[in-house]
Amino acid sequence: MTDQLSKKSQAWSARFSEPVDELVKRYTASVDFDRRLALFDIEASLAHAAMLESVGLIGADDLGAIRRGMAQIRGEIERGAFAWSVDLEDVHLNIEKRLTELVGEPGKRLHTARSRNDQVATDLRLWLRANIDDTLQLLASLQRALLDLAEANAGTILPGFTHLQVAQPITFGHHLLAYVEMFARDAERFAEVRSRTNRLPLGAAALAGTSYPIDRMHVARALGFEALCANSLDAVSDRDFAIEYCAAASLAMMHVSRLSEELVLWMSPRVGFIDLADRFCTGSSIMPQKKNPDVPELARGKTGRVYGHLVALLTLMKGQPLAYNKDNQEDKEPLFDTADTLGDTLRIFADLVGGIRVRPERMRAAAAEGFSTATDLADYLVRKGLAFRDAHEAVARAVRAAAERGVDLAELGVDTLRGFSPLVGDDVLEVLELDGSVASRDHPGGTAPARVRAAIAAHRARLAAAGA
Ligand code: ARG
């Protein structure tokens, strides 16, 4: 028995009289997925070791040995030569065991004043912080791609919809800028999540802190944390930073999904507003004519998967008493998959948007249908002195007459239009024109091409100032 235990001994197995059941070992192990944290685990261990040395808890020679050993381990991991073992449960124990194999005694001193509970919370925050920095870059690339397309289409007219019915003419640039606003807010949210993530758990140890004279600020500075987690129980147990990340990711995916829905509609031959580059589409194995917008459809589908991860993490936390519980090991796979899904999606979409081919003639033709300038006619009558409600009614009657005859409002002619209101003058046909309609919406937030160009310039300046 002693032999059996020593061969495959866990760091904690001295307390136990029989080895862990094989299935239980696999059930409780996390090394298959938490090895993604390895380089952050090493970084945090080096900062911890340097602090232990600075307060005299380990010697300078111990620190030197730990640094040497960790450098070798990092190399092994990067080369794919590290022998991960499920017997050693998780990333932390795998690395610590290897360190001790390589450098002996100093490796055994590393875990002084530390627990895997504050260690894993630290690693996860470091990993997420780096991931958020990538996410912010990707969001900036996507915004830039949208701005480029918006700039090229600042004056391109298409119908704006409400209830998916033609409502009023707008510019395609303005439409795209709506998505830039959404992704800009997503970036703001991720920046806020980053700052709450960027706090140091180490020093909390298992849950109650430690009796050693540690210097937590030393570690925080070395790892670039903005602050310490102020309460040791909270530091090791809460995962709200991961939940917040998944919430922000869910919102960003929701925005991508809305854009996807529009791309699918716009690309339908029935609508034909745009074409996506072939590299983002697939064909059909049976119907030779098909070119399907698979990428936006998948993004729409993957949005549900990310929402699922958010709900998984919320549910994971809701029943946990203070402080650390093993439930928390289940935080990683949803978080990692959320980050992978969002990262791939944003990366692909920046490229996909850059490859959109616009068909302005189809957009304009669609805007000319559906009486999209009816509101402009009502506004014209108001400018001539009619109360808006009366103007609305007069135009509604005109629209009905035009629809019955199968013509648009301008085609009714000035004389017929005057039959619905004596205020109609010879200048009425101008207000029924698409270009005049969009140009007249000339205020901050409006669709006039000049406003679209100004908004694009403001967004570009914001992105440049953010260094993105
Ligand atoms: N693998 C664990 C996790 O992901 C590390 C912390 C384990 N701590 C413990 N006392 N069992 O949460």
DSSP string, 277-289: -GGG-B--SS-TT
How far, in Å, CA of 260 to CA of 270, rounded?
A: 17
Q: Are 43 and 223 in contact (CB under 8 A)?
A: yes
What is the mean predicted confidence (pLDDT) over 15-27?
92
What separation in Å is there between the alpha carbon of 204 and the centre of ligand 1?
14
| Residue 1 pLDDT > 90 | no
Q: Which pTM was predicted?
A: 0.94
What separation in Å is there between the alpha carbon of 29 and the centre of ligand 1?
9
Ligand 1 atom 11 nearest Cα: 326
How far, in Å, CA of 130 to CA of 107, rounded?
A: 27
Q: What percent of the chain lies above the pLDDT cut of 90?
A: 92
Q: Worst-scoring range by mean pLDDT, 282-296, 311-325, 414-428?
A: 282-296
Contacts of 425 (CB under 8 A, 6+ apart): 384, 414
Q: Are 113 and 57 in contact (CB under 8 A)?
A: yes
Three-class SS state of 209: coil
Three-class SS state of 274: strand
| Amino acid 106: pLDDT | 98
What is the mean predicted confidence (pLDDT) over 366-378?
94
Q: In ligand 1, which atom is closest to the CA atom of 30? A: 1
Contacts of 383 (CB under 8 A, 6+ apart): none
Ligand 1 probe mutation, 326, 327, 330, 331, most atoms within 8 A of CB: 326
How far, in Å, CA of 57 to CA of 212, rounded?
A: 8
Band (pLDDT 50/70/90 cuts) for residue 468 is low
| Amino acid 6: pLDDT | 45
Mean pLDDT over each residue of the chain, to the nearest integer: 96
What separation in Å is there between the alpha carbon of 7 and the centre of ligand 1?
22
Residues marked as catalytic: 163, 284
- Residues having CB within 6 Å of any atom of ligand 1: 30, 34, 90, 116-117, 120, 326, 328-329
How far, in Å, CA of 437 to CA of 124, rounded?
A: 53
What is the mean predicted confidence (pLDDT) over 237-254?
98
Contacts of 274 (CB under 8 A, 6+ apart): 263, 266, 267, 356, 357, 358, 359
Write the pLDDT tens digit of every residue in 286-303: 888 888 999 999 999 999
Three-class SS state of 161: strand
Q: In ligand 1, which atom is closest to the CA atom of 34? A: 4
Q: In ligand 1, which atom is closest to the CA atom of 331? A: 4
Token pair 């409502």: residue? 167
What separation in Å is there between the alpha carbon of 117 and the centre of ligand 1?
6
